[in-house]
Structure 1
Amino acid sequence: MTLAIPGAADRAALADVVGRVVRLDPAAVVRLRDAGGAVALWAGTPFGVLVTTGAPGHVAPADVTVVASDLLAALSVVDAPEVDPGSAVDDRWRGDLPGEVAWEVIGHLAAEEVDAVVARADAARLDEPVWEAAGVRVPARCVVAVAGMGWPEAGAPVPVALSGDGAWLRLEVGAAAIVRHRRPALTVLV
């Protein structure tokens, strides 16, 4: 198994996001998908939302799930364009991913307003809306996940951009994002 990310800055940015995921959940797994010249990274969070980011490069096999802490160690310890991301644990991935989506930005939350929205989220149930833009209601869990990831970073005036495609919503901060189904998946009992 191989993860190739040629740029040192891209490897560092990927390691930063994986490190934030591991801080939230030390047992997290990440899914790496080859996207034709880029690698898309997906990870679940304790908040029931996905974290995603990407970097120029490729991964083989083209769709694999690995333990986040193993990937973090590989990216942090080995300073090379090509690393072994760890053993495949594909059976540990749960949930859907959005398809190839052209995300349309429909609203922004200024960085200085995030704390106020998080304060409202702290008083709300996780699925209660705490922010709305263009008729899209954002549940508390999404904003709490943004804050849990440490975004936006102190002193960085990067706004949170809200996008949607009908079925999914996305809160983007820089090159990373929180993604969630707009309607929760149904639980099937057998």
Structure 2
Amino acid sequence: MSLAVPEAADRAALADVVGRVVRLDPAAVVRLRDTGGEVALWAGTPFDVLVAARTRGSVEPRDVTVTGSDLLAALSVVDAPEVDPGAAVDGRWRGDLPGEGPWRAVGSIPAEEVDALVARITEAGLDDTAWEGGGVRVPARCLVAVAGMGWPEDPAALTVALSGDDAWMRVEVGDSAIVRRRRPRLALLT
């Protein structure tokens, strides 16, 4: 098993995202998918949303789940263009992922408003609407996850985007995002 991320800056950015995920949940698992020239990273959070990030590189096997702590150690301690991301724990991944895109922007949340919005949220209100625009409701849990990840740092605004089928929502923060399914999946009866 190997994760190849040739550029040191890309490895540092990926390690930063994984480090934030592990701080939120020390037992987090991270799914890595090779998308042809890029690696897509997905990680669950305690807020029932996914963290998503991309970087230039490749992973073998092309779709694998590893523990966040193992991946963080490989990226931070080894810091080489090619690392072993840790043992596969594919059985620990729960849930599905959105398609590769395209995503269409429907609004933006000024970054300076995130802390004020999060301060008004109670634990019981995680599914309450924290922001609404472009006909889209952003549940509080998405902004709590943004704040929990320690974002935003640089962006002037967070972009709210929808998947092509409108089933998924993204709150984009720079090169990373918080992703949540907008509609529950229908169970197939057999």
TM range (shorter): over 0.9
Distance 2:123 2:93 in 1: 31
Unpaired runs of 5+ residues, structure 2, are: none
How far off is 1:141 after superposition?
Answer: 0.5
Unpaired runs of 5+ residues, structure 1, are: none
Q: Which residue of 2 aligns with 1:58?
A: 58
- 1:163 and 2:146 matched: no
Distance 1:31 1:12 in 2: 18
Letter in structure 2 aligned against 1:70: D
Letter in structure 1 aligned against 2:68: A
Distance 2:146 2:12 in 1: 20
Distance 2:14 2:156 in 1: 18
**Aligned with 1:87: secondary structure?**
coil
Tell me the alpha carbon deviations over residues 53-75 of structure 1, each in whole angstroms, 9 at most, x when there is no partner. 01000000000000000000000
How far off is 1:143 after superposition?
Answer: 0.7
Distance 2:26 2:132 in 1: 32
Return the TM-score normalized by structure 1. 0.94
**Aligned with 2:79: secondary structure?**
coil
Identity rate, percent: 70
Tell me the alpha carbon deviations over residues 17-64 of structure 1, each in whole angstroms, 9 at most, x when there is no partner. 000000000000000000000000000000000000010000000000
Instruction: Output the aligned Cα RMSD.
Output: 1.5
Equivalences for residues 4-83 of structure 1 within 5 A:
4-83=4-83
Q: Which residue of 2 aligns with 1:129?
A: 129
Equivalences for residues 133-144 of structure 1 within 5 A:
133-144=133-144
1:148–1:4 Cα change, 3 Å: same
Letter in structure 2 aligned against 1:163: A
How far off is 1:111 after superposition?
Answer: 1.2
Distance 2:5 2:28 in 1: 21
Distance 2:22 2:186 in 1: 27
Letter in structure 2 aligned against 1:81: P
Aligned 8 A contact 2:155 2:173 in 1: no
How many residue pairs get matched? 186
Distance 2:125 2:186 in 1: 19
Return the TM-score normalized by structure 2. 0.94
Distance 2:157 2:50 in 1: 19
